[in-house]
Amino acid sequence: MNNGQSKIYVTALTLVATLGGLLFGYDTAVISGAEKSIQAFLITSQGLSAFIHGATTSSALIGCIIGGAVSGLLSSRLGRKKSLMIAAFLFFVSALGSGYPEFLFFEKGAPTIGLLMMFNFYRVIGGIGVGLASAISPVYIGEIAPANIRGRLVSLNQFAIIFGMLVVYFVNWGISNGQSIEWINAIGWRRMFLSEAIPAGLFGVLLFLVPETPRYLSLTNRHEEALKVLTKINGADMAKRILSDIKNTVENHSGKLFSYGKLVVIIGVLLSVFQQFVGINVALYYAPRIFESMGAGKDASMMQTVVMGLINVVFTVVAIVTVDKVGRKPLLIIGSIGMAVGMIAISALSFFNIIGIGTLVFIIVYTASFMMSWGPICWVLIAEIYPNQIRGRAVALAVAAQWTANYLISSTYPAMMEFSGGMTYGFYGLMSILSAIFVWRMVPETKGKTLEEMESLWKSKK
């Protein structure tokens, strides 16, 4: 880094904020190892339906929508740092409560409807933490990062999400390895959820050591504090110039959600919706079932899922390395084309009932294309495109739309597959093509621009 920028300081702040992303991935994936035990303990034992099983497995998504929706209010009223502290607390409570839902009110090991409701309550609490972290962690990083490396640093949040998923896959495997089904159904699933309390507690403690973002400090008229943080990050001369730009943007607009026009808000929402409508969470959530339906045995399907997880990490690194060199738009368009090729090929193979290594190859093409583009860069753009004073509310709207789209795509996948696998994958391929057209025609390039320069762009488009 140059011009007085402090590489160590800004990297340390980023790594603390990305723990929110790691917990996002950890919390959403921990259910994968515990799902069958929860079914045996709380669902099958009480003669409840598959619908209740599905609702319990996905209950955290309801919390994600709530957390995303309220993130703007919290981050605007309390600040980015305190809102992340609330998320850390919710992750911690959810980890303990999901692992021991009998706490205070129920007899341990005795499944009841009340206990099932309490388990779902704790999962929703964790989901609210995910919704908050998914919105506020990239905003925090975006608001403290220098413009020349902002894309790279915000992309680290997506790496942390994928890494969190990979970590919990290994944690779940370590807990269950060599144990009987009876032990896993009685004790093992509890330890899977309880394990999340460790990174959640670490996240909460480390947040006490980082500052509030300079943009939020300036928005709340704490300009001297903002200057101190900016000076540590950018050096004294650059800090004064950036603070002057921030103060000008704060003073010269109404602060209403649509005060810069509707286009910027619509673009953020559509970025979020397309990120889900291309079908990525179907590939992530249902990967073992997809591979089993293609003829792979159970052990082989789990191994193929691990291979996918490693590919996700590798290609997220590709995005981190290239986003500030190549730019946001080119990577998104390239990724959309790759996803379209992968999904349309899978659709064709499904129509002709061809199952084999080719299917795995095209799933890898699809997921790799997503991870080098829409996975991290959607979050980068959401953190970058909004003007300072509407950022909290606008990001909240985009993230709520994202989790709603996630729920719609994930919940409709089984029914769509029953109707036609080929048409299902063809739909995701079509969405990939439309996402490329959308980026080409509507999304501005943000590479190298300060957040205040982006604000001027939207003023000119009003």
Query: In this structure, is the dihedral angle defined by the CA atoms of residues 227, 229, 230 and 231, taken in order, positive or negative?
Result: positive
Q: How confident is the model at residue 183 (pLDDT cuts 50, 70, 90)?
A: confident
d(CA 385, CA 379): 10
Has residue 390 been placed in a domain? yes
The verdict on residue 246 lying in a domain is no
Q: Report pLDDT for 386.
A: 84
Q: DSSP string of 390-407?
A: GHHHHHHHHHHHHHHHHH
Whole-Å CA distances, 323 to 115, 119, 200, 310, 371: 46, 40, 29, 20, 12
Is pLDDT at 359 greater than 70 in this prediction?
yes
The SS3 call for residue 139 is helix
Same domain, residue pair 187 and 261: no
* pLDDT at residue 430 in the model: 96
CATH code of residue 437: 1.20.1250.20
Does 249 map to a domain? no
- What is d(CA 21, CA 154) in angstroms, rounded to the nearest whole number? 10
pLDDT in tens, 116-137: 899 999 999 999 999 999 889 9
Percent of the chain with pLDDT over 70: 89
Identity of the amino acid at 393: R
Residue 231 domain flag: no
Identify the residue with better confidence: 358 or 189.
Answer: 189
- Domain hosting 277: range is 256-462
287 — pLDDT class (breaks 50, 70, 90): low
Q: How far apart are CA 401 and CA 109, in angstroms?
A: 38
Q: Does the residue 244 lie in any domain?
A: no
If asked whether residues 206 and 88 sit together in one domain, one would say yes
* 3-state SS record for 167-183: HHHHHHHHHHCCCCHHH
12-26 as b/e: b if 16+ CB within 10 A: ebbbbbbbbbbbbbb
Q: Is 286 in the same domain as 142? A: no
- pLDDT for 85: 96
DSSP states of 435-459 as a string? HHHHHHHHPPP-TT--HHHHHHHHH
Q: Which residues contact 85 (CB under 8 A, 6 or more apart)?
A: 204, 207
Q: Indicate the SS3 state at residue 203.
A: helix
- Domain closes at, from 210, 244, 265: 210
The per-residue pLDDT for 111 is 78
Same-domain status, 433 and 358? yes
Which pLDDT band holds residue 297 (cuts at 50, 70, 90)?
low
Q: Are residues 206 and 277 located together in one domain of the fold?
A: no
Q: What is the mean pLDDT of the chain?
A: 83
Q: Considering the domain boundaries, does residue 190 fall inside one?
A: yes
pLDDT of residue 1: 45
Per-residue pLDDT, 250: 60
Number of domains in the chain: 2
Does 178 lie in the same domain as 112?
yes
Number of Cβ atoms within 10 Å of the Cβ of 8: 8
276 and 172 assigned to the same domain: no
Please check whether residues 196 and 286 belong to one and the same domain.
no
Closest to 28 measured CA to CA, from 281, 207, 253, 252:
281
In a domain, 278, yes or no: yes
Higher pLDDT: 347 or 453? It is 347
Tell me, yes or no, whether 195 and 261 share the same domain: no
pLDDT at 417 over 50: yes
CB 98, CB 117: distance < 8 Å: no
Same structural domain for residues 116 and 260? Answer: no
Give Cα 207 to chain centroid, integer Å. Answer: 19
